[in-house]
Amino acid sequence: MSSPIFSSNQLHIHISAQDRPGILAETLAFIVHTGCNVVDIKQFVFNGLLNLSILLDHCDEGRVQPLRKDLSIYADKMGFTATLYPWETATRPDVSYSHRSVVTLLCDSIPSSGFLEVTQVFADLDINILRIEQLDSGDVHALEFVIGTREAHSSVEVLDALVKFKEKYGVDIAVQEETYFRRNRRLIVLDADMTFLQCEVIDELGRLAGVGGEMAKITHQAMNGEMDFKSSLLKRVKLLKGLPQERLYKLSNSLPLTPGAETLVNTLKYLGYKIALVSGGFQFFIDKIKDEYCLDYGFANRLEIKNGRVSGELVGQIIDAEAKEKILVSLAEKDGLSLRQVVAVGDGANDIKMLARAGLGIAFNAKPIVQRQARASINQSDLKLILYFLGINGNDLKELGEMARGGKIQSWLSK
């Protein structure tokens, strides 16, 4: 054990040991005997190795010497390492790194060179890494970095700095402010087509109407921001004129969900989230999905049906980018939530405003124009990956998955 000269009134004890029950209690017994006061305790276990730090005050030399002697003898006997040193101002963390953010990385795996590069990015930005936690290491590697900055680096600055790293290693990244709002999300608003669903419903309708090629071309332009969404929607709806209503019913029974959608819904409902679909598609399909999966809200455009056929016109308000944003804000107000408690997920240009207003906006398999403006992105076709951005770890997912298989989540949803 080291034996520095103590001139401080505060003392830091650091213990490293193979973890077992009782080490903290045994150490505290020595501290209580000396009469020092415990100010703070931090402890974590990594691969069976205990790291324990205890900060004490009222530690004059007369108390420190017996504590050092007794703890040293006991540490040697029990096979662990104990270090005591004065907690001088010079040894304390730089409190100027007071602005905190969370950077979450998702990937298949990260080599050592990848860890080097991401930490070098932080170092070059004068960002201090405060904590690293591995959320999962199975099929998906999920890492969470809590970082501190001297100034309030925006999420965009950090994301811009990580662009090359992201592209080189195929990593999905989210950057969020570390506040209590991040740990208290309560509403998620999802786009439907190519987000909750693995298709563009209007393109499927176009194929049924015999205008698939022309329809898909207009959809591509709209989702990439090359054409105004409202005018593109009206143009595409006109192509559907004369389509029999029974074709809509048939299509509604075969719409493919994106992998992970049910897991995401079941988990978030169990955790108390409200879930909304806000779509530039059609209410006919959104209502069916909403009812089938017990979602709380569903908003979309309404096709006009006349004499059992699509008329080629819409009824009521058009759900475009501005409408999606307004709906998100109104749902938060309705549920008494801050916008920082809202998650938004989408893939197209008409989702950009919605993503920007949410506390966490996620570009999901999104067009380049969307990814450039979102603070989080996922480029894998699995919606349950969103759960990692919410701080849920692999063990949580396994536990919730077992509950789902046992019917506990579904029975809870039916109440």
Identified catalytic residue from 70, 108, 139, 191: 191
Q: Which tokens belong to 362? A: 């996620």
The 10 Å CB-count burial string (b at 16+, else e) for 143-171 is bbbebbbeeebebeebbebbeebbeebeb
For residues 48 and 41, what is the distance between their CA atoms, to the nearest angstrom?
19
Q: What is the CA radius of gyration of the chain?
A: 27
Active-site residue (options: 136, 172, 193, 351): 193
Q: Which residue has the tokens 């990439």?
A: 224
Active-site residue 193, yes or no? yes
DSSP reduced 3-state for 203: helix
Give strand ranges (E) for 108-216: 128-137, 141-149, 172-177, 187-190
3-state secondary structure of 296: coil
Look at residues 296, 271, 293 and name the one whose alpha carbon lies nearest to residue 186.
271
- Maximum pairwise Cα distance, the chain: 95
Give the C-alpha separation, 365 to 371, whole Å.
9
Q: How many Å apart are CA 347 and CA 344, to the nearest integer?
A: 10
Bridge pairing between strands 342-346 and 11-18: unpaired
Residue 93 CA to residue 384 CA, distance in Å, equals 37
Token code pair at residue 182? 């991040």
d(CA 408, CA 415) in angstroms, rounded, equals: 11
Catalytic residues: 191, 193
